[in-house]
Chains A and B, each alone.
Chain A
Amino acid sequence: MSELASSLEAVTRIAREVSAQHAESVDREARFPTETVDALKKAKLLSALVPQKMGGLGCGMLELATMCETLGTACSSSAMVFAMHQIQVASILRHAAHQTYYKNYLTELVEKQPLIASATSEVGIGGEMRTSKCAVQRDAGDRFLLEKDCSTISYGAQADDVLLQARRHSEAAPNDQIFVLVRKPECTLEQKGAWDTLGMRGTCSPPFSLRATGVVDQIFETPFSDVASETQVPFSHVLWSNVWLGIATGAVARARAFVRQQARSKPGTVPPTALRLAEASSMLQTMRTNVHDVSTESDRLMRDETQGTAALSSISFALKINNLKVSSSQLVVQIVNHALSICGILGYKNDSKVSVGRHLRDAHSAALMVGNDRIYATNASMLLVLKDD
């Protein structure tokens, strides 16, 4: 078996044997999916994207996407934590791997499997990732201090390191941003609130006040605007959509089991719920085709060393990747809702084998993590100049 196939196999096994077993308690107790993340670390999957010649598994965006979907069928929070970590790894690999500091960090990533969180949200900027209030404060030597009030940091308390954006210096414009990795030993995170939410409870994403120091070598030479448009946004929307596809698939699997059970109790008659299931199956196919299509195109552009960067920073691609996010975040809710209507009261109950309450609650986070209205507003503005020629 090839290394890639065995990596996918490992994720399938972790999803089934670990994530699915603990999904309910992770959700109920709003606790971090420690078991899954430990298993992923043990299988060296936190460095899955790192090329094989550097000791990683050599996976690409598409393999990662499949892994997110697989984990998503079992435990949405585990899948989302995995997805968010990989987005950070991709940013380092694609934009900072040439810097000595990050060459060494990638070696450490392979050996020690640190979990990387992202602190891209900031209090008082209205959810706009491309502007910052906080700024890097450099001393006379080669060190910096960074203080940021974050409205949310997913698994901030559990992460080993944190990536975040800030203004280049105290006089810089709000969108003149750099990206920097800060290390937990040099970083204090003061939790400023709780994470008691409707869904995605295991991502443990409360607000934090972050205060970190480091050496200037930790700052990406590439401006954050390029990291955002060429990697953070496409990777986020592709991996998130695959997590949501997993949630939808998981809910439909329960609905299918329910309908089969009904059919077996009365052979010869097609249960009325089968019609609903046929609808859900069609919706799921629409979602899957869209997710796979845009994932495949993004993966191709990520690998294209000559034309890829220009294409990734084009308005037409930004529109497409944004459309993927809004459409899959809406479809996942519709599909899980359908699964609920099929399973009826048994789907509504939390203690039944075909319960889809957790799926539905988790699915509702999709439209909110980067609000769909914000994305539609961006698309509306881009459509004023795009010709589709």
Chain B
Amino acid sequence: MNPTDQIRAILKEHARLAVDVATLSDDSDLYEAGMTSHASVNVMLALEGTFDVEFPDRMLRRGVFGSLASIRAAILELTQGATTEAAQ
């Protein structure tokens, strides 16, 4: 599964959206789609577990988890950072 599909699967299971995840575009607002602050914490936990990353506190903001695209950008930043570190 590519990262986008993995994120969609996590959103489907944990975001408790009012609509089907499949109908959302990469830029759809997840909060408008029904994700509560409480559900967003579960999404963060599942993302950390699945991608084996830890979101630093600076990333723990509403905007970062507001859409599939912004989540993917955050994951990418963290995993690419890890690759760079391992290569050193």
Contact = CB atoms under 8 A, between A and B. Distances in A.
Contact of B63 (A172, A223, A313, A385): A313
A379 to B, nearest CB: 11
A388 interface: yes
Interface of A: 130-131, 172-176, 223, 225-226, 229, 310, 313-316, 378, 381-382, 384-389
List the 4 closest A-B pairs by CB distance, nearest first.
A173-B34, A173-B18, A315-B60, A313-B62
B75 to A, nearest CB: 14
| Of listed B32, B33, B35, residue having the most chain A CB within 10 A | B32
B34 A382 contact: no
B51 interface: no
B81 interface: no
A130 B57 contact: no
User: What band does the interface of chain B fall in when counting residues whose beta carbon is under 8 Å from A?
Assistant: 20 to 34
A378 B48 contact: no
Interface of B: 17-19, 31-38, 41, 44-45, 48, 54-58, 60-63
Contacts of A382: 41
A389 B41 contact: no
Contact of A314 (B19, B36, B57): B57
Contact of B60 (A172, A173, A223, A385): A385
| Of listed B34, B55, B62, residue having the most chain A CB within 10 A | B62
13 contacts: A130-B36, A130-B37, A172-B32, A174-B18, A225-B62, A314-B57, A314-B58, A314-B61, A315-B60, A378-B38, A381-B41, A385-B55, A389-B57
A236 to B, nearest CB: 16
A75 B69 CA distance: 51
Contacts of A386: 57, 60
Contacts of B41: 381-382, 384-385
| Of listed A378, A384, A385, residue having the most chain B CB within 10 A | A385
A86 to B, nearest CB: 24
Contact of A310 (B19, B34, B54, B61): B61
A387 B56 CA distance: 7
Given A131-B36, A173-B34, 19 more contacts: A130-B37, A172-B32, A173-B18, A175-B31, A175-B36, A223-B31, A229-B62, A310-B63, A314-B58, A314-B60, A315-B60, A316-B60, A381-B38, A384-B41, A385-B48, A385-B55, A385-B60, A386-B57, A386-B60
Given A310-B63, A313-B63, A381-B41, A388 B34 contact: no
B32 A378 contact: no
Given A131-B36, A173-B33, A175-B31, A315 B61 contact: yes
Contact of A313 (B33, B34, B61): B61
A387 B78 CA distance: 15
Nearest to B54: A387
Nearest to B36: A175
